Structures are given as structure tokens and as C-alpha cells.
Structure 1
């Protein structure tokens, strides 16, 4: 006998499996194709079928809700990917999943992950099960008893003044000079830098608005040196792409995250650096130097786009450089 619910369940499972193999797949288009193929078929579960999980079905509703809440597409894709792995490994109805089930899943899933990555997995599951409970899909929240893993406190790595200057001297092209200086002087995230358009820049104020984590807008600033280097680069570059940084070859497309990372690596290799140089290190450097220069924590928190001052305070942790700068201010 034809069962609409059984067919829907099969469609959701097929899309879920495909999404695991092809994370960038257009799920709506794929679902339409699968439904078209199955249109003339009757589908019914067999007597010996395993108990079905309803995670995949609820996941689609959860992601749609979070999209309306303003979560970025990058975050949604990660949540979708991680929760589909969870659905594949734990084949139980959501209402029957226990805290022990989740502990065993996390122990297996996170066996070789560092503490920060483990906490990332926990955060995703906490968000999902909290939503399920609030929407009354489950009678109680089994994630309530699961706590975050303790992460070792480490000082954020940053370049000192001499290292930063060595990188500057290693830059050859106007794009390299402008890119490095913008990262060092603004504290922008890589994802924010990639999406900056020239039209967003206020050259007089030396500022621009960026969309950070959680689709939150904030204003960042850059110095006079960066302004001059940016304008020198823009005068000579080819193409009419609205992006701030573009490829040097036709069709002069917007530079992506990997292209920017390769650019920095090329500069670092030329400078003879053995340590890894990457965009987020420039952000750490900006924050550390700002603290050393006496910038107020709350101001830096706003510029960096941190949710809480605790994150910003990591950069104020005592180290030799901090102590030296503090002493110089009173001597």
C-alpha cells in the first residue's frame, strides 16, 4: 500500500547520504529530482527494517529555522555536515536518544580531535537538541548533562615588530604590500577580507563595515600607510571587479581565502620564515599590538567582533612582551 510518509522518509535519507558525499550539493534541486524519479513508485517499509531515525527529517526543519535566525551559510553547511554524520552513526528515533548514547557517540567521533574541536562538536549537538526540546519534538534534552571539554589556556601567537617588518620588506608587488598591511592594521578575519568591496570603504575616515560571524555588522579601521598602499595597488590593477583584492590574471576574479593564504605563504617563504604565516596570525598580531599600545579591552572587543570580553582578554595575558611594554609606559 502506498505510504506518503514512507516515501518522504526515503527521499530525506537519500538526500542526507548524498549531502555527506557532496557537501556543496543543491539539496532543494536534488530533492526535486529524487521525488520526480520516485513519483510512480509505491514505497513501504519491510517487516524486518531497522528502527528508523528521524534526525534527517528534523534536521532540515532545524536548518531552515536557523537560516531565518541569521546564521551564515558557512555555519549552516558545517552544522548540516556534522549532524548528518551523527544521523548516520546513531540510528535511533530522536525521542529515545539518551545522554549515554550521546556520550558514546562523542567519545567515538572525537577520539583524535583536539579539545577545541571536541567543543565544536558539543556546541552543534547542544544547539540541535535544545531546539528539538523547545519545539517539543523530544520530551527532554539529553545534552543538558554534557559539559564542554576543558581547553588548555595558551597565549595567542603573534608576530613581534621585527618579524612584521621583515615580512613587509619581503613584499614585491603592490598587491602583496597592500594585502599584508591591511591585515596587520585592521584585524579583519579572512572571511571578512574576502567579501570586502571597494565601494564599502570610507577613504576619508579610513574605515569600512564588514559582516562578521553570525552575520553581525561592525566597523573596522585601517591606518594612513594602509590607505596609501591600497590606493597605489588599485591604481595599477586590471579589471573592473568590485572586490578589494582580485587575481592578477584574466578574468581578474575576486581573490578567495585560499588565494590569500597562498599569497602570505609566498611572502613568508621569500622572507625566510620557518614558522607558519597565515591570515589569522595577522589578526592575532593586530590584537596583541593594540593591547600593548594601551587600547581599552572593550574597544578592542568591538573592533575584533568578539562576542564576549573573555575572548579578547586572551590577548592581554601576561607574557614577556606585555610586561616589557607595561614597564616602558611607566619608566
Structure 2
């Protein structure tokens, strides 16, 4: 079996059997291509069936010189998944990464914004411009619903169920979930649709896409990054933020105000509660408040 055939079959498996998104599948593919680059640069002509643990170990050793432990762990995980697939399909008897030790990395928590910093970001938007109204609506929607940037740019008008108070989100792996949306965010969306979006010459391919650029096409994820980056500079925010910061802040603020972790898990679309715990940063003062308020032995 040749590498290109093995990778193609593997990607098809990830898409059909595991239901992963195109972006995630491409990330897996990049990890395998790093191994291929290593093999070519060292004149090693081993097929995916014949490659052994010694060669994989050499690759991991070389990779460790170039990337941080977190990236190294991700690459090893990607290769392990690929060879697990080959074993599963009976192309191989063993996985050559089984004896490779994954570097231990601590849980990395994204920066979070305070409620005041969120308000400052939104207040810094120039509403005299049509893009300003759109940008405010985007940020309000992402923060109000805890959306991933990919979910925000693909949100459709037909996904809005304001009478019921929900929006429909197609998340990772094309998994559908319904997320509550409060009236403030609804108000901004309705205003944007009626007063801004209605004046755009919409490309036919994007007639149902909610957020559009000036040319009537959907926004890119990079565009959302730039919007936030410019606002952060505008308010002299001394934090490195991204669209994901809004999602993390959404979860953190809900939890601090007493929301149930399971409910937050459902709204974020996490399969595992452990993933939600990583995103939701609990500071010591909050934990102390929880014990003082809810523990049966607290002083009256």
C-alpha cells in the first residue's frame, strides 16, 4: 500500500465513520505529511505497512527539536490514530507508535475577558459604519451563545428560531445542537438583517448565510480574528485574544453566575464534561464562594 492511498482512505474513514469536520481531517493529514517529509529527507523508502517503531522514534526525536511539547503530543496522537486505522483495517498487525511516549503537557487555558472588558470591546466598535453594526452583532452573538468562529461564519438565517429563543448550530463533526439566545442578541441580529444586510447585493451562494462581507459573500474566520485584534488594540487591551476567547469568556461568566456545568457543556457542544472543565477556568475565590454558599457544614 502506498502512502497517498493510505492517507486518502484514512481521511475518508475520518469523514464517514467518525464524522469529523474538514478542518480536523486536514490537521490529521498534516501530521502524517510531516512524517512523509522526514522519510523523504532521510531517503527512507518504507511503506505505511512496513514502517517500524524505530523509524517512528527517530522522527519523533527530530520533531522534538523543532516544536514544543504540546505540538509534539498532537503529532504523536495523529500518527497513533492513523496507524490504529491501518491495524483496524488489517493492513498492519501492530501500531508502531504504541511504544512512543507522549510528552506530558499541562492543561492550557485560553485567556478570558472580564465582563467589563467585553463591554469595552463592544463599545469601541464604530457604529457609524455599516460594518460596525455587523461587527457588533457578530461579537454579541458569539459571546451570547458561546460559538466557535467556524460556527459564527456559517450561521444561517434559517438557523434562527427567535420565537422559541434558540439558534441551531452545526458544530464539529456536523453535530447539531440548539443554543439559547437572549433578547439583546436577537435585537442586534434583527436590526442587522433589516437595516444592513438588506442593502447588500447578496451572492446567490450565500443567500441564507447570516453574516456577509461588502461583496455579499460569507466572512472568513481570519476576518473575525482581525476584527477582534483591531478592537483589542483600540482599547489597549493587554491580552492576546481570539474569537475563542469570547467562547471561553461565555462559559466562565455563566459558571461564575451559578450556571450548571452540564448545561454549559451542552451549550458549548462538548461530548465530554472533561473538555468543558478545561475551558471553564475556576479561580480560587469562586471556589471559596461555592463552598461557603452550598456546603451543608457552612457557618449559618
> What band does the TM-score fall into relative to the shorter chain?
0.7 to 0.9
Listed as ranges, the matches of 1:18-29 within 5 Å are: none
- Give the Å deviation of 1:126: 1.0
Bigger Rg, which one = 1
**When the two structures are aligned, how many residues end up with a matched partner?**
277
Q: Hey, what's the Cα distance between the residues in 2 that align with 1:176 and 1:93? A: 50
Question: What's the CA shift for 1:197?
Answer: 0.8
Q: Which of 148, 153, 156 is 2:107 aligned to?
A: 153
Any idea what the Cα deviations from partners look like across 1:107-127, whole Å, max 9, x if unmatched?
Answer: 212423233322221221111
How far is 1:159 from its partner?
0.6
* 3-state secondary structure, aligned to 2:189: helix
Runs of 4+ in 1 over 6 A off after TM superposition: none
Deviations 1:261-315 (A, max 9, x none): 1112222222222322320000110010111111111111111111211111124
The correspondence for 2:29, drawn from 44, 62, 80, is 80
1:60 aligns with 2:60: no
CA contact (8 A) 1:56 1:87 kept: no
The 1-side partners of 2:284 and 2:171 are apart by 31
Is the 1:56–1:84 Cα contact (8 Å) retained in structure 2?
no
Moved more, 119-128 or 58-67: 58-67
Q: Which runs of 5+ in 2 are unaligned?
A: 40-44, 127-131, 295-299
In the superposition, the TM-score normalised over structure 2's length comes to 0.84
More contact order relative to length (CA 8 Å, sep ≥ 6): 2
Mapping for residues 233-272 of structure 1, pairs under 5 Å:
233-237=192-196, 238-239=199-200, 240=202, 241-247=207-213, 249=214, 251-272=215-236
Which residue is 1:44 aligned to?
A: none
Deviations 1:80-111 (A, max 9, x none): 33323322322313333222221221221242
Contact 1:167–1:268 under 8 Å retained in 2:
yes
- 8 Å contact kept, 1:130–1:141: yes
The root-mean-square deviation of aligned C-alpha atoms, in Å, is 2.3
TM-score by length of 1: 0.76
Q: Structure 1 residues 316, 88: CA separation in 2 closer, same or farther (over 3 Å shift)?
A: closer
Mapped partners of 2:8, 2:23: distance in 1: 16
Match of 1:290 in 2: 254
Q: Tell me the equivalent position of 2:87.
A: 133
1:230 aligns to what?
189
Unaligned runs of 5+ in 1: 1-52
What is the alpha-carbon distance in structure 1 between the residues aligned to residue 257 and residue 5 of structure 2?
52
